A and B are shown apart, each in its own frame.
Chain A
């Protein structure tokens, strides 16, 4: 069974615990600017939207990588292999969600890898706005549908 981050912006209070948890676990610093999940703050609407990689089926980043540095594991997670990444950044422009980013400090790209199956953002979220659950759960379908709208090659029925 594939599991995924299911994000419900309606439950997000904008506390940004997820950003702190992510940056601490992945980069060793409580620094939201280094987080792989980002909470967009629409304060005039009192709306907050946590945003990160959906591990989309299209795997734009993986397809675009010229050195095979991005691979999909058995759980559907797209992982960056730092030993193979040359830092060319093509994946950062190929991902139509903008969720692969270049890390100047390492010269490699970084993206959400679901912390190897125990995502720190979901554990840190106090309101269940970010849940790590089966992909069949509501919400994920919508994100996937959104992902498919960006597809360049459409399979004809």
Chain B
């Protein structure tokens, strides 16, 4: 916790302001840097990010592709002088290794950076599936601004585009590609769309919604190889189809960026493992965001929750602790919201239910409306919805507070659409309605 350098015989020679180093310029890193500045006016704060852009939001990339915003619209902070004005140094470098014991980083350019406290907020990277042809021209991820520029060049109206993956990220890209008027085919190995966000009923609602709008969705299908063909590529499926594609976009999932920590002594599980103060096993070294294996509110266990709101919570909590204000991370809630060519869906917490729990569902297949709530005793622990957006955040509020719903639980099992009423009534002590 001390920021002083001590000389011989332990005599303090001088007080030096601490140097907080943050690896990663995404939402976790930026939130942490700002929080550190707010709580320590004098600290030296450095963000090291490997991309050449101003800190930006990957989440905004689909809207860039749709033409709703320009590149500047993806920036996490709109004021170009924001980081300068807070005296936060943003450096464009790639970190090679972390020498935890020496409190020192080695950059890939050979330079060393000393730190007093370190935050690992390196995010995640797309998984490259083991398929032949992934290095051919016309094969792209949709992860960085650089990827987005390439996709924008190739995804012209009327051209054939194949998208691998209808998970959460794939489905967001699907929306952006569809808006560009391309001939879109989506290949998903799961039995439905967004299998890790929505159940079968909801995932298949999304699928038929897309199909009604001219998008071909192949579920339970794998891509076996990608080959060059006249005018572009052929994407070959395990169903024996050869799908012509000028552009093949790969969204086969992401993995946390912790490879550079291999010999650092920092413990890694599914991500960089942190305790309830976001600290790794090495004192003074913290982790946040997509790369962190941190407390999950729903399970009480430790897991990677690679979503924007969690990155911000992690970044804030880590920075408070780095600044010397012990702050406990109670756990983050997994949640997602998706707009699939106009059909909005969301899911929260243990949407698949828990052992010994109870459930309320309401499904209107042709009307594309669905709500499913999961309870443990009389508390909401998870939920999902399709076609319902009004007051939807209440699902988070109820799950996160663990508010006992009492007699409202049975009312919600009978009529899950009364969720907002249940919340207001419970908060105001109205039990019979």
Contact = CB atoms under 8 A, between A and B. Distances in A.
Contact of A98 (B57, B328, B391, B430): B391
A98 B397 CA distance: 8
Contacts of A135: none
A94 B389 contact: no
Contacts of A84: 73, 78
A40 B330 contact: no
Interface string A70-105: 000000000000001011111011111111111010
Contact of A64 (B77, B312, B390, B401): B312
Contacts of B395: 93, 98
Nearest to A96: B397
A117 interface: no
Interface string B297-328: 10000000000110011001100100001111
A45 B74 CA distance: 48
Contact of A68 (B75, B332, B392, B420): B75
B312 A97 contact: no
B400 A152 contact: yes
Given A42-B425, A94-B309, A89 B339 contact: yes
Interface in A104-121: 104, 107
Question: Do most interface residues of chain B lie in helix, strand or loop, or is the interface mixed?
Answer: mixed
B400 A150 contact: yes
Given A44-B432, A66-B57, A150-B400, A92 B330 contact: no
Interface in A124-150: 146, 149-150
B329 A66 contact: no
B427 A156 contact: no
A66 B69 CA distance: 13
Interface string B15-39: 0000000000001000100000000
A94 B392 CA distance: 9
Given A98-B390, A102-B344, A104-B342, 9 more contacts: A43-B433, A64-B308, A96-B394, A102-B389, A150-B401, A152-B313, A152-B333, A153-B317, A153-B327
19 contacts: A40-B421, A86-B68, A86-B73, A87-B68, A87-B339, A90-B309, A92-B346, A92-B393, A93-B309, A97-B394, A98-B391, A98-B420, A102-B344, A149-B401, A150-B396, A150-B400, A150-B401, A153-B327, A155-B325
Interface of A: 9, 38, 40, 42-45, 47, 49, 51, 60, 63-64, 66-68, 84, 86-90, 92-102, 104, 107, 146, 149-156
Interface of B: 27, 31, 57, 59-60, 63, 68-69, 73-78, 297, 308-309, 312-313, 316-317, 320, 325-333, 335-337, 339, 342, 344, 346, 348, 389-397, 400-401, 420-421, 423-425, 427-428, 430, 432-433
